[in-house]
């Protein structure tokens, strides 16, 4: 199918005719006289065909054709091919990462070195984000308050950068799991409803998922975690909860070293209930290797079927009328050039 990209430019088509017929005619200056030393040569020129160029209609038709072609080229004709369906499938995933003060506990190892929990989370989650090609990813950081660090986007690099720039205590020292879930539900609600509408109407669509990672219990926030989980379940949002932290750690004191449980504040019961209410799974990450395995399991999430998109290949056609216009212009210029050469010849002949 052929269409014009800027069809409104066609209003310029009658412009030369309007100028010709509506412009005031030139005054008659026949009374004025101008003596030309080569009047005889001009008479000879008319006798040898100059009259054909000026009096006949071919020059007007040629210039009209050039104008039509130029306007047509300016309107940008283009050929639209058949519509090609582009399947848009992927997952809507929100990552809610705990950056409260307890994430600073150095009870995990990374590359053989003892480090805090957040650094291990950054490394493992970064690899998880890198392989989620085609998914929409979002990042929520929460402590005492929950913040949307990155909205849902296909730009995985930005999500990784924003996660790597997260600092412990940036959102406060406490933990507001309920607020983090509520914020994720708010951001995924629109996509959730669109995905449910795309199904057969039974509301069984997997509209998105939230991966909630924490090392403690809910100690702050306006919304209770289970209340937020029930709201998420109504919106079709599945929540995968991850409890991170080792179960034993050697610490030194004035009386020597002793073994403690650095994860004693982890509320596994609530995390399990959140996962159960929303149809997700609760994972326990006691070391970096276990955390990597958890992300591998989350990779098996079913994709979300997005809105079907179509693509129509477009081929520009404006070079063709433009080339013909240039060709006709060259013919017209060549005609004038031949005429001027004949005029010079006639003048030189009369001088001799």
Residue 172 banded pLDDT, cuts 50, 70, 90: confident
Return the closest-CA partner of residue 307 out of 159, 162, 207: 207
pLDDT score at 254: 66
Condensed to tens digits (0 to 9), the pLDDT of residues 6-16 reads 889 889 888 88
Please determine, for residue 182, whether its predicted confidence score (pLDDT) is greater than 50: yes
Pick from 84-93, 277-286, 301-310, 343-352 the range whose average pLDDT is largest.
Answer: 277-286
Do 192 and 219 belong together in one domain? yes
Same domain for 92 and 227, yes or no, is yes
Is residue 176 very low, low, confident or very high in pLDDT (cuts 50, 70, 90)? very high
Task: Please tell me whether residues 66 and 143 are part of one structural domain.
Answer: no
Residue 39 is predicted with a pLDDT of 52
**What does the pLDDT read at residue 270?**
93
Report the pLDDT averaged over residues 94-117.
88
Q: Are 108 and 62 members of one domain? A: no
Asked, for residue 18, whether it belongs to a domain, the answer is: no
Residue identified by tokens 């040629």 is 62
> In terms of domains, do 330 and 227 share one?
no
Under a CB-based contact definition with an 8 Å cutoff, are residues 3 and 77 in contact? yes
| Statement to judge: residues 66 and 121 lie in one domain | no
Residue 21 placed within a domain: no
Report which DSSP code applies to 311: E
Whether residue 347 is predicted with pLDDT greater than 60 in this model: the reply is no
CA angle centred on 183, ends 108 and 238, rounded to 5°:
70
Residue 111 vs residue 183, higher pLDDT: 183
**Are 119 and 76 within 8 A, CB to CB?**
no
Give the model's pLDDT for residue 197: 52
- Structural domain contains residue 19: no
Q: Are residues 270 and 204 in the same domain?
A: yes
Asked if 142 and 176 count as a contact pair (C-beta separation under 8 A), the reply is yes
Q: Are residues 162 and 195 in the same domain?
A: yes
Give yes or no: residues 177 and 276 share one domain: yes
Indicate if 327 and 240 belong to the same structural domain.
Answer: no
| CATH code, domain with 190 | 3.40.50.410
pLDDT at 213 over 60: yes
More confident residue, 226 or 263: 226
- pLDDT tens track for 48-90: 554 454 445 777 788 888 889 999 989 988 888 877 665 555 6
Q: Is the pTM of the predicted complex or chain greater than 0.85?
A: no
Q: What are the strands, taking DSSP E only, across 15-91? A: 77-80, 84-86, 89-90
Domain assignment present for 28: no
Q: Domain of 340?
A: 2-12+40-82+313-351
Is residue 291 within 8 A of residue 128, CB to CB? The reply is no
- Residue 58 is predicted with a pLDDT of 75
> CB neighbours of 99 closer than 8 A, spacing ≥ 6?
118, 141, 142, 143, 166, 167, 168, 169, 170, 171
What local confidence, expressed as pLDDT, does residue 50 receive?
47
Of 275, 291, 308, which marks where a domain is finished? 308
pLDDT score, position 274: 94
Same domain? For 276 and 319 the reply is: no
Q: Is residue 32 part of a domain?
A: no
In the chain, the number of structural domains is 2
Arithmetic mean of pLDDT, 151-166: 91
Higher pLDDT, 26 or 272: 272
Please check the confidence at residue 149 and state whether its pLDDT lies above 90: yes
> pLDDT tens digits for 189-210?
766 555 555 444 444 444 588 9
42 against 74, higher pLDDT: 74
- One domain for residues 75 and 102: no
Q: Would you place residue 214 in the very low, low, confident or very high pLDDT band (cuts 50, 70, 90)?
A: very high
CB 313, CB 15: distance < 8 Å: no
**Confidence bin at 304 (pLDDT 50/70/90):** very low
- By three-state DSSP, how is residue 57 classified? coil
Residue 190 lies in a domain: yes
Is 273 a domain residue? yes
Collapsing DSSP to helix, strand or coil, 43 comes out as: helix
Residue 326 lies inside a defined structural domain of this protein: yes
């Amino acid at each position: 199918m052929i269409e014009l990209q800027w069809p409104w430019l066609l209003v310029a088509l009658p412009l030369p005719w309007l100028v010709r017929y509506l412009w005031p005619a030139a005054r008659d200056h026949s009374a004025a006289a101008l003596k030309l030393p080569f009047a005889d040569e001009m008479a000879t020129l008319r006798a040898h065909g100059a009259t054909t160029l000026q009096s006949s209609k071919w020059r007007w038709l040629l210039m009209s054709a050039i104008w039509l072609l130029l306007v047509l080229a300016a309107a940008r004709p283009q050929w639209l091919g058949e519509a090609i369906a582009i399947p848009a499938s992927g997952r809507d995933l929100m990552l809610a990462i705990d950056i409260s003060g307890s994430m600073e506990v150095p009870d995990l190892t990374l590359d053989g070195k003892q480090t805090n929990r957040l650094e291990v989370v950054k490394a493992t989650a970064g690899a998880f984000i890198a392989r989620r090609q085609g998914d929409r990813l979002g990042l929520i950081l929460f402590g005492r308050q929950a913040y949307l660090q990155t909205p849902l986007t296909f730009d995985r690099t930005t999500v990784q950068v924003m996660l790597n720039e997260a600092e412990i205590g940036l959102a406060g020292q406490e933990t507001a799991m309920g607020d983090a879930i509520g914020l994720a539900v708010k951001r995924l609600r629109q996509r959730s409803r669109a995905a449910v509408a795309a199904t057969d109407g039974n509301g069984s669509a997997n509209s998105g998922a939230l991966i909630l990672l924490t090392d403690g219990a809910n100690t702050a926030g306006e919304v209770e975690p289970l209340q937020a989980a029930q709201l998420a379940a109504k919106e079709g949002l599945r929540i995968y909860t991850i409890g991170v932290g080792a179960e034993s750690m050697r610490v030194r004191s004035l009386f020597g070293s002793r073994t403690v449980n650095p994860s004693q504040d982890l509320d596994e019961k609530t995390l399990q209930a959140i996962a159960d209410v929303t149809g997700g799974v609760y994972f326990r990450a006691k070391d970096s290797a276990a955390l990597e395995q958890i992300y591998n399991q989350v990779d098996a999430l079913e994709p979300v079927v997005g809105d079907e998109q179509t693509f129509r290949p477009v081929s520009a056609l404006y070079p063709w009328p433009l080339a013909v216009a240039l060709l006709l212009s060259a013919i017209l210029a060549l005609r004038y050039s031949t005429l001027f050469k004949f005029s010079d010849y006639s003048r030189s002949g009369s001088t001799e």
